[in-house]
Structure 1
């Protein structure tokens, strides 16, 4: 980061749009810089004919475009594809190019779950919550990968839940925190589950408040209620719940100006408090 982009090559009339990052690329140098800074975002979708055509037709780099198309035809690796782009220009010196290539190869050696989770996490960190939800769901759909630990699996569910929470969809957030905790047994996930459930409904011991598929006795409920009250006092969460309910009332009453203003403030505060697994 902080590198000055000096572009000596052709500037495209029609830029290439990278949806995952929400940016437009005009030169081969910009594309190389993007690769160096976003290695974890790169997956098989980065290897596409549209990008090859952009390089060949818009940037006038026919040989490179053809080389990249051949890699796609041969089902080459993303690391090879990206490295060809980085090595095609002089934006980086030779040492920097080698370091970027090594990083790409290291990432490509990771399992698919790790790479796809890293991509979803990066979208979350860019505040692209809907896109991150889509990626987390793709990651978690189907049967659990036996090569992935329960902790890693639970952490992915935790981050999916947090994306929903950022959108104030606390019902969905509580559901996925609950699933996440069943895998990773993390106290942080458990705490976020309680917060989301309390935001979602006042009575956390009703039908939707059954914890982890076991019935709660009156004694359990009393102990959990004390625990939650203490935790909420520590975190100042009671005031947050009050604010959220007032926020929802403003929305329902049609006061969208107040709703969006306060929503932005709360989201900014929440960003400071949360770090994904």
Structure 2
């Protein structure tokens, strides 16, 4: 994890796996450190019976583990559950603990759609790209009720595009990034869409599938290298605006 943690409490023979950040922990001190760094994601990982069982059986903390089981049975919220866990170990000071709990409460105040996005993001962050795609796919069917949700939907498409890109599936990645830009109109999605297309065309250098695109892409890259920011943005967003209109027209025709 990049930092030495002094553990004064019990060390487990069998670790507990924090799926969201792909880390095995052997003590509550290690968990507290992880929660200080990744509160919401780690909170999702431990807010379950498997963690309560690990505390009870692997750490040998029977009373504490049972307390966690009782909280889950009583359907106590994640913030109260997390607070109980952090109080079992004195690794974090009061200010750090309040900060972690504030982030947990902020997560619980999010809409169900936002919470599901964060859960899907866990797989992407831990390199489980196929799992992240499976988690993002049902979210793409969400019907936005306002501009904020439309931007969030763009984030879903963007992150799914990233998962496909990490799997070298550039055609699918490009499609996702284009849909992301149609929703969020963010430069990051626009650049990612063009880069995916460029990577795809690299596989057909001998016989490019879209010579017009390659010419446009090369012009955009040259403009960026020459430091012409306005020219670069004009070309970039001009192409993406065309794709956005094509995407919206296709959606209307369905």
Task: Report if TM-score (shorter chain) is over 0.5.
Answer: yes
SS, match of residue 6 in structure 1:
coil
Stretches of structure 1 that go unaligned for 5 or more consecutive residues are 206-221, 237-277
Q: Which residue of 1 aligns with 2:209?
A: 203
**Counterparts in 2 of 1:131 and 1:37: CA distance versus 1, 3 Å:** farther
In the TM superposition, 1:6-85 aligns within 5 A as 6-42=6-42, 44=44, 46-85=46-85
**Equivalents in 2 of 1:74, 1:63: separation in Å?**
16
In the TM superposition, 1:65-144 aligns within 5 A as 65-121=65-121, 123-138=123-138, 140-144=139-143
**Equivalents in 1 of 2:214, 2:4: separation in Å?**
55
Stretches of structure 2 that go unaligned for 5 or more consecutive residues are 202-207, 226-254
SS, match of residue 21 in structure 2:
coil
**Equivalents in 1 of 2:44, 2:83: separation in Å?**
14
- What count of residue pairs does the alignment treat as equivalent? 218
**Equivalents in 1 of 2:104, 2:112: separation in Å?**
14
Q: Which residue of 1 aligns with 2:170?
A: 170
Contact 2:21 2:125 in 1 (8 A): no
Q: What's the C-alpha RMSD, in Å, of the aligned pairs?
A: 2.9
**Counterparts in 2 of 1:75 and 1:106: CA distance versus 1, 3 Å:** same
**Equivalents in 1 of 2:97, 2:198: separation in Å?**
50
Matching residue within 195, 216, 221 for 1:232: 221
Contact 1:46 1:78 in 2 (8 A): no
How far has the Cα of 1:50 moved from its partner?
A: 1.5
Q: Could you give the per-residue CA deviations for residues 142-196 of structure 1, whole angstroms, max 9, x where no partner exists?
A: 3325255222211221121122112211011011112212212234323322332
How far has the Cα of 1:141 moved from its partner?
A: 4.4
How far has the Cα of 1:94 moved from its partner?
A: 2.7
Q: TM-score, normalised by structure 1?
A: 0.67
Q: Could you give the per-residue CA deviations for residues 70-93 of structure 1, whole angstroms, max 9, x where no partner exists?
A: 222222222222221111111122
In the TM superposition, 1:177-192 aligns within 5 A as 177-192=177-192
SS, match of residue 113 in structure 1:
helix
Contact 1:83 1:101 in 2 (8 A): yes
**Counterparts in 2 of 1:134 and 1:3: CA distance versus 1, 3 Å:** same
**Equivalents in 2 of 1:86, 1:226: separation in Å?**
57
SS, match of residue 17 in structure 1:
strand
